[in-house]
Amino acid sequence: MEAVTIATDPPGGPAARASEATEVHTRILRLALGIEDSRAYWEHVDPTVLAAERALLAFEQRWFGSKSLERVRFLLSSFVHRYDTFPEALGVLRRWSSMDASTRQVICHWHLQLSDPLYRRFTGRFLVERRALRDPKVDRDIVLRWVKNEFPERWSAATCVQFASKLLSAASEAGLLSPKRDPRALLLPKVPELALAYLLHLLRGVRFAGTLTENPYLASVGLVDGFLDQRLRALPGIQFRRMAHLTEFEWEAPTLGAWAEATL
């Protein structure tokens, strides 16, 4: 029986744990969710190939279509943070050729959250709070004010506008917002069983702020409280129990990789 706390070490011990990113950066200004580029990356990447060689290989083999070498280099460097940081997860994604579109959408969203604390805060806290309002909508001005309030005087006004636009774009790609025109309605994406199981097994081996039942990854897609409990109790391969404030899991697979081997 495994208690749900982030202090519980996965197989392999503390040294085996990767961690969610905590340092704010600007990579989202050049790449939002990037679902199709992510899929191409999973299909082609060989983690044993050195980064310097990988860029030329990706460009010559047109992993990302007709994109320039400079753009290919940027995509690869971004995806290293999103996916290579979690090597077991990358191994699963490389083998998961039958992944459907809804699963791919939320997995890209969760990996962007893991690698970008600003996007994680925006989707896992701000948009969650907005959903509780009587008229749960957002527009660029609202998001711009949020960026400036979260990081006062850190960036120029023009950069803050870029952040607001890119956060809206990424959240729209993730199915959290209606697309393109302001004001944007808040939506919830479909979360298939396999996608939810992937996230839970992934988070077991990641250091993050929260627990397996209370975290910005689940909250961002509307999986909270009683609705989350219903989904967890019906999830194959996992037994979930809640007793007052105590939550417990039993896992059929010891790791994400073992789950993928048995399930996918």
pLDDT by residue for the chain (264 residues), tens digit each? 333 333 334 444 444 589 999 999 999 999 999 999 999 999 999 999 998 899 999 999 999 999 999 999 999 999 999 999 999 999 999 999 999 999 999 999 999 999 999 999 999 999 999 999 988 999 999 999 999 999 999 999 999 999 999 999 999 999 999 998 899 999 999 999 999 999 999 999 999 999 999 999 999 999 999 999 999 999 999 999 998 889 999 999 999 999 999 999
pLDDT of res. 2 = 34
Dihedral over alpha carbons 26, 29, 30, 32 (to 10 degrees) = 110
**Considering only CA atoms, which of 73, 99, 39, 88 is closest in space to residue 203?**
88
Q: What CA–CA distance (Å, rounded) separates 207 from 209?
A: 7
Angle between helices 69-79 and 35-44 (to 10 degrees): 80
Q: What is this structure's pTM? A: 0.93
Q: What CA–CA distance (Å, rounded) separates 163 from 155?
A: 10
- Where are any strands of DSSP class E within the chain? 2-3, 18-19, 137-138, 184-185, 206-207, 238-243, 246-251
The residues facing 137 across adjacent strands are 185
Q: What CA–CA distance (Å, rounded) separates 171 from 177?
A: 6
Upper half-sphere CA count for residue 111 (Cβ side, 13 Å) = 28
Structure tokens at 94: 């490389």
| Residue 178 burial by Cβ neighbours in a 10 Å radius (0-12, 13-18, 19+) | middle
pLDDT of res. 16 = 57
pLDDT of res. 8 = 38
The residues facing 19 across adjacent strands are 207
